Amino acid sequence: MNDAAYMDIDHPGVFIKEELEARGWSQRDLAYILGVPEQAVNLIISGKRGVSPEMAKALGEAFDVTPDLFANLQRMFEMAKAREPDPAVGRRARLQSAYPIREMIKRGWLQDTDAALLEAQMAKFFLVANSNEIPHLAHAAKKTDYSDTPPSQLAWLFRVRQIASEMVVPKYSEKALREVLPRLQQLLVDVEEARHVPRLLAECGVRLVFVECLPTAKIDGACMWLNKQSPVIGMSLRHDRVDNFWFVLRHEIEHVLNKDGQDKPIVEDLDAAPEAGELPPHEVAANDAAANFVVARAEMESFVARKAPFFAERDILGFARRLQIHPGLVVGQIQRRTGRWDFLRRHLVKVRPHVLPGAMVDGWGHVAPVSL
């Protein structure tokens, strides 16, 4: 039944009054039949009291009709008298159906305000002219197709972009980035050395941003460009362990060096990555560069050939010491090769306490100082 149909609905008391007249009963007669005070009947007939479910059943018995008749009359009357909902309800529902709006407000990405301003904030957040162009909303007229990027990932990606756009770094130099790789590799020996990474990349003109994942997002890193001369690397640290940090970082650096992601950002969930034969060439290249950076491939292959299938902790420690890398990097490689994810996990130490203090960070209790 549409809203117009509710406009002419009378109170159930009108029907009861007509039925009494047709039967020649008085209100006192009905009260006697129902076993209730006459005043209770009068309040219903005068429209001052509604018909409760219990009364609907009693009236149905008294008039020999289904109780649903009175229950439906009461429901339709209440619907007719109910106020129209605030239009903002539908607008907020439209946004929340696609994006974790409440979480974005909680994280300080948006301000909690009325629906119209919230839509305007979302349009600004996603760099579109109006709310109808926001990706993943119904009838969105998107200038860039993000249909293959889940909304929660996309929100994370645009937060990285928003933060990066306010960072000030020197002009990007591919030469400087390639030259800094050996310096980065020297940091692999101690997890605390990760604190130098944001500065070293910034000196090359690469904006490195750490943004905590939204609850429903599965994302490790991203590579994007603000323009052809301004690369950005985003990292989530959702797997806060030394091997994952360096693998994801070097993976994204390779994308930057190859100018990947200039036309459309590359967003990565490495846990969901397909088999190597199904990966696009730019992902194969990034994976190869990352793996070889973390532990030199020739060295790793030789170590595995000599020690497999039994990897003693003392051998791993000696191998890592010889290569001057953290033992967690070796453990991570062995875990990936063997599928033994519980193997020597104590060496997979956390990086976040060391890298975040000197970085641009959003999440983990911190809100990046950017304008909304």
On the question of pLDDT at 372 being above 80, the answer is no
Of 128, 147, 166, the position where a domain reaches its end is: 147
Of 147, 175, 192, the position where a domain reaches its end is: 147
Based on the domain organization, do 245 and 304 belong to the same domain? Answer: yes
pLDDT for 211-247, tens place per residue? 999 988 889 999 999 999 999 999 999 999 999 999 9
Based on the domain organization, do 48 and 188 belong to the same domain? Answer: no
Under the banding of pLDDT at 50, 70 and 90, the label for residue 273 is low
Identify the domain containing residue 69 by its residue range: 3-81
Which pair of structure tokens corresponds to residue 305? 């050939």
Whether 100 contacts 216, CB under 8 Å? yes
Based on the domain organization, do 188 and 318 belong to the same domain? Answer: yes
CA 174 to chain CA centroid, Å, is 32
The secondary element (H helix, E strand) that includes residue 223 is: strand 221-225
Looking at every residue in the chain, the average pLDDT score rounds to 90
Whether 227 contacts 265, CB under 8 Å? no
pLDDT for 155-208, tens place per residue? 999 999 999 999 999 999 999 999 999 999 999 999 999 999 999 999 999 999
**Separation of alpha carbons 142 and 140, rounded Å:** 6
Cβ neighbours, 10 Å, residue 262: 16
Which pair of structure tokens corresponds to residue 172? 């990007």
Residue 222 lies in a domain: yes
**Separation of alpha carbons 166 and 371, rounded Å:** 9
Strands 207-211 and 360-362: parallel
Based on the domain organization, do 348 and 217 belong to the same domain? Answer: yes
Residue 369 lies in a domain: no
Question: Residue 292 half-sphere exposure, CB side, CA atoms within 13 Å?
Answer: 10
pLDDT of residue 139: 53
pLDDT of residue 143: 52
pLDDT for 108-157, tens place per residue? 999 999 989 999 999 999 999 988 889 888 655 455 567 788 899 999 99
Residue 367 lies in a domain: no
Based on the domain organization, do 195 and 73 belong to the same domain? Answer: no
Residue 317 lies in a domain: yes
Based on the domain organization, do 118 and 219 belong to the same domain? Answer: no
Based on the domain organization, do 214 and 339 belong to the same domain? Answer: yes
Whether 335 contacts 343, CB under 8 Å? yes
pLDDT of residue 35: 94
Based on the domain organization, do 290 and 225 belong to the same domain? Answer: yes
Across residues 36-56, what is the average pLDDT? 94
Based on the domain organization, do 214 and 323 belong to the same domain? Answer: yes
Residue 368 lies in a domain: no
Residue 327 lies in a domain: yes
Q: Residue 362: helix, strand or coil by DSSP?
A: strand
> What distance separates the 2 farthest-apart alpha carbons in the chain?
106
Residue 372 lies in a domain: no
Residue 244 lies in a domain: yes
Which pair of structure tokens corresponds to residue 84? 């129209």
> How many domains is the chain partitioned into structurally?
3
Based on the domain organization, do 201 and 345 belong to the same domain? Answer: yes
On the question of pLDDT at 1 being above 60, the answer is no
pLDDT for 61-71, tens place per residue? 999 999 999 99
pLDDT for 92-109, tens place per residue? 888 998 899 999 999 999
8-state DSSP, 187: G
Based on the domain organization, do 124 and 168 belong to the same domain? Answer: no
Based on the domain organization, do 190 and 239 belong to the same domain? Answer: yes
Of 57, 81, 105, the position where a domain reaches its end is: 81
